[in-house]
Amino acid sequence: MMRCGGYLKRAGEMEHARITRGNSAGIYVSVNPNPKVFKILKIIESENTYVEVHYPNCMTFEGVKVMVFKGKIADRVRRLVEIDPHFDNTGKLAPIARFEPTACGRLLAMQIANTEIHE
C-alpha cells in the first residue's frame, strides 16, 4: 500500500495521482510517462547512445529517465516525436537499458553506453 494524494492505494492500482500544491486545485500526473510529452535533457553518443529524458507528467524520479539505446543513434533519437522508456520487442526503437537518475545510475548507464555490444 502506498499513500498518494490523501488516499491509500495498492501498488498496481495507482495509474494516476492527484497532487495538490498549497491552496491550488490538484493537478493530475501519471506514474507512467507519456511518451509523446518529453524533453531530451542529454544525449551522449559512444558505442551506444546515452539519453536522459524528462517527462513532465510523470511523478516517479521527478519525471527523469536515464536510458541507453543500442548503437550510435543520437541523431535518430533527436528526431523522435515519441520516446517510450519501456523495453519493447515489437521492433520499434526502445532502450536496451534503463537506470535510476542518480549519480550511480548515470555512471552505470555511461558504462553500458561505452561498451561495444556483440550479438
Q: Both 81 and 24 in a single domain?
A: no
DSSP states of the chain: -EEETTEEE-TTT-SEEEE--TTSPPEEEESS--TTS-EEEEEEESSSEEEEEE-TTB-GGGGEEEEEESSS-HHHHHH-S----S---SSS---SEEE-SSHHHHHHHHHHHTS----
List the chain pLDDT tens, one digit each, 119 residues. 344 343 334 444 444 444 444 434 555 567 789 999 999 999 999 999 999 999 998 988 999 999 999 999 999 999 999 999 999 989 899 999 999 999 999 999 999 999 999 87
119 in any annotated domain: no
58 in any annotated domain: yes
Q: Both 22 and 45 in a single domain?
A: no
Q: Both 57 and 86 in a single domain?
A: yes
Q: Both 69 and 45 in a single domain?
A: yes
The structure's pTM equals 0.75
Question: Which residues constitute the domain of residue 26?
Answer: 1-30
118 in any annotated domain: no
Distance, in Å, from the CA atom of 95 to the CA atom of 49, rounded to the nearest integer, reads 9
Q: Both 55 and 109 in a single domain?
A: yes
Count of CB atoms situated within 10 Å of the CB of 90: 5
CB-based contact 19:5 (threshold 8 Å)? yes
